[in-house]
Amino acid sequence: MKLLPNPFCALIIGSSGTIGRAFVELLKNHPFCSEVIGIHRHSEPSIDYHKPDSIESCATALSQKAPFNLIINTIGALHSNDWMPEKRLDDLNAEQLLELMKINAIGPALTIRHFSKLLDPNNSVMVTLSAKVGSIEDNRLGGWYSYRASKAALNMLIKTASIEWARTKPNAALIAMHPGTVSSKLSKPFRGEQIGRPANDAVADMFRVIESLKKEDSGSFLSYSGEKLPW
């Protein structure tokens, strides 16, 4: 049986980003979505992965709006004004590794810990955006050390939490999802505007997958097309 009920209430984390904004827009216009709330670094309440305490305090502030049937976390980082993904081992540095682990793995893991308490125990889905380049088995090109490692760590955290959820949240699915290349600020330095899809198309594809999820899918690493990806 599909997990997402009709109607459903949704929360988008990272709603100031390209993909997050597109999810909010899609759900505002969805006939079965009774309410969608978006949060980000400058919202009220706010969530900022550079301030780990904000994760719990934001979840606590939103508890009065709970329960949510759908939580989607779109926060992630690939590059900054100071550095780009590493092309070779000699580019590897501690600052970049720590920063991407903080944004792509530690922050999302703490979000799962605190925000999972806001999920409807009867029917709910929590999706965290990951990346196919985080797949260890699928790594054929090398490079992008920090980004790959942070997404691989995220995938392990999601898989591990899903095993616990099978006991504690049997009617919820915890999913890692690859959005594909989307035309956004994140992908712009890598010809994202040329090779990426519009964000509205990407979130429509992802939501079709989300709509069809069953509790047996919990702990899966899925593509926007519904393909099951190797860890």
pLDDT tens string 107-120: 999 999 999 999 99
Supply the pLDDT for residue 185: 65
Q: How far is CA 94 from CA 49, 143, 145, 146, 186, in A?
A: 18, 16, 11, 9, 21
Q: Rounded mean pLDDT of 23-31?
A: 97
Is the separation of the CB atoms in 129 and 222 below 8 Å?
Answer: no
pLDDT mean across residues, the chain: 94
CATH class of 8-223: alpha beta
Percentage, residues of the chain above pLDDT 90:
90
Q: What was the pLDDT predicted at 97?
A: 96
Q: Does residue 73 contact residue 48 with C-beta atoms inside 8 Å?
A: no
Instruction: Give the tens place of pLDDT for each residue, 163-182.
Output: 999 999 999 999 999 999 99
Flag whether pLDDT at 160 surpasses 60: yes
pLDDT of 191 higher than 60: no
- Whether the pLDDT of residue 193 is over 60: the answer is no
Q: Please say if the pLDDT value at position 79 is more than 50.
A: yes
Residue 192: is its pLDDT beyond 50? no
> What's the mean pLDDT in 9-24?
97
Across 74-101, average pLDDT? 94
Residues 82-97, mean pLDDT to the nearest whole number: 94
Q: Tell me how far apart the alpha carbons of residues 135 and 229 are, in angstroms, rounded to a whole number.
A: 8
Per-residue pLDDT at 196: 77
Burial of 195 (0-12, 13-18, 19+ CB in 10 A): exposed
> Which of the four pLDDT bands, split at 50, 70 and 90, describes residue 134?
very high
Q: What is the pLDDT of residue 78?
A: 93
The arrangement of strands across the sheet holding 124-129 comes to 33-39, 8-13, 70-73, 124-129, 172-178, 221-223
Instruction: Grade residue 149 by pLDDT with cuts at 50, 70 and 90.
Output: very high
pTM assigned to the model: 0.94
Comparing 93-97, 127-131, 137-141, 182-186, which segment has the lowest mean pLDDT? 182-186
Q: Where are the domains of the chain?
A: 8-223
